[in-house]
């Protein structure tokens, strides 16, 4: 390839990137205008939908961050559903027995860390097929939580209360949705920013990318691939554990059988649509959360004279359409070593 050809290819790439940015900003501006129009037309309904959007997006982005840390490290994690469910169960049980929400959150995160370590032990240590390892977590969580489920247990008066962030909570449209939320929602927003910076700007992030792209080359420069994969998948499980605690203690306030309801798999779609970056995943989570909030509002208002099961399909139908058309935003390449076991030589 000649220098002129290289320069032309680079210029074409920059033009495509610039066009994509313009398209994204235009879409964001159009969405903001639509939301403002609905707020002027019916402020109460719009605020309810936006609050529901943030509530649903919080759980999804925690699962998506769990998945993206694993995949950037070269490990596929389809066990997020099981991690959500098991962590929700232990968080709810610990909180109801101790009378402390903080103990419940600690129990949920600890369960997520333990399940993350089990996934790492199977996928990294034993070099089990990673899809099968995740399926084992899902099946085990469903069976254990169903067996030990206690219908009579409840949280009583325990409930996370929203915390107003001063004048920010009084802002129109986004005030209640973003700045009058319970503490785990704020913690999630902080984690999204911290993880985004850490993945793209820190030594840990560069090493994580290296073991997901070319673990053999990473090992030649002194990176312990096995150890780092263990650490990353375990820590990622802690994020899913926080998601389970959020689901049981803040979003729902109780535990029921199979209450994760497919959200772990939906989080994988969020991760893919968000292009394996935390900020991108949160933007995608807001989109998917909006479909869930809209579906809930439709059912609450009885907007359509059709069986509720069809309305309940909305988030998953949107998921299929969005993931199928994700290529319109540009081709995304998987990490080169994704799903491949690594052996020390």
pLDDT digits (tens, 9 = 90+) for 116-130: 999 999 999 999 999
pTM of the full predicted structure? 0.89
CATH number of 44-329: 1.10.3470
pLDDT for position 261: 87
Question: Pseudo-torsion of CA 190, 191, 196, 200, nearest 10°?
Answer: 120
171 and 40 in contact (C-beta within 8 Å)?
no
Please list the ranges in the chain whose pLDDT falls under 50.
none
pLDDT for position 28: 67
Domain boundaries, the chain: 44-329
- The count of other CB atoms within 10 Å of the CB of residue 9 is 11
pLDDT for position 100: 93
- The Cα 63–Cα 75 span in angstroms is 15
pLDDT for position 4: 53
- The Cα 238–Cα 110 span in angstroms is 7
Query: pLDDT tens digits, residue range 170-224?
Result: 888 777 888 889 999 999 999 999 999 999 999 999 999 999 999 999 999 999 9
pLDDT for position 2: 57
- The Cα 234–Cα 230 span in angstroms is 6
């Amino acid at each position: 390839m000649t220098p002129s050809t290289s320069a032309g290819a680079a210029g074409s790439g920059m033009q495509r990137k610039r066009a994509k940015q313009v398209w994204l900003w235009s879409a964001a501006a159009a969405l903001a205008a639509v939301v403002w129009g609905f707020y002027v037309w019916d402020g109460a309904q719009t605020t309810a939908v936006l609050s529901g959007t943030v509530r649903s997006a919080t759980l999804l982005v925690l699962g998506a961050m769990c998945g993206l840390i694993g995949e950037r490290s070269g490990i596929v994690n389809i066990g997020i559903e099981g991690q959500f469910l098991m962590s929700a169960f232990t968080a709810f049980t610990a909180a109801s027995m101790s009378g402390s929400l903080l103990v419940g959150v600690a129990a949920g995160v600890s369960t997520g860390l333990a399940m993350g370590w089990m996934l790492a032990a199977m996928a990294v240590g034993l070099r089990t097929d990673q899809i099968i390892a995740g399926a084992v977590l899902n099946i085990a969580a469903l069976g254990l939580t169903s067996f030990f489920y206690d219908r009579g247990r409840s949280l009583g008066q325990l409930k996370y209360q929203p915390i107003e962030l001063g004048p920010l909570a009084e802002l129109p449209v986004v005030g209640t949705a973003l700045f009058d939320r319970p503490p785990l929602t704020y913690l999630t927003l902080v984690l999204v920013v911290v993880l985004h910076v850490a993945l793209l700007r820190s030594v840990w992030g560069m090493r994580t990318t290296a073991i997901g792209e070319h673990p053999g080359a990473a090992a030649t420069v002194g990176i312990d691939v096995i150890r780092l994969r263990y650490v990353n998948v375990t820590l990622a499980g802690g994020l899913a554990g926080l998601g389970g605690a959020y689901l049981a203690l803040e979003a729902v306030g109780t535990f029921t059988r199979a209450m994760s309801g497919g959200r772990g798999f939906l989080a994988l779609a969020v991760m893919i649509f968000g292009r394996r970056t935390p900020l991108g995943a949160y933007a995608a989570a807001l989109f998917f959360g909006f479909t869930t909030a809209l579906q809930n509002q439709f059912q609450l208002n009885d907007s359509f004279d059709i069986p509720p099961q069809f309305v309940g399909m909305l988030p998953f139908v949107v998921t299929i359409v969005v993931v199928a058309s994700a290529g319109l935003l540009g081709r995304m390449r998987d990490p080169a070593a994704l799903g491949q076991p690594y052996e020390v030589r």
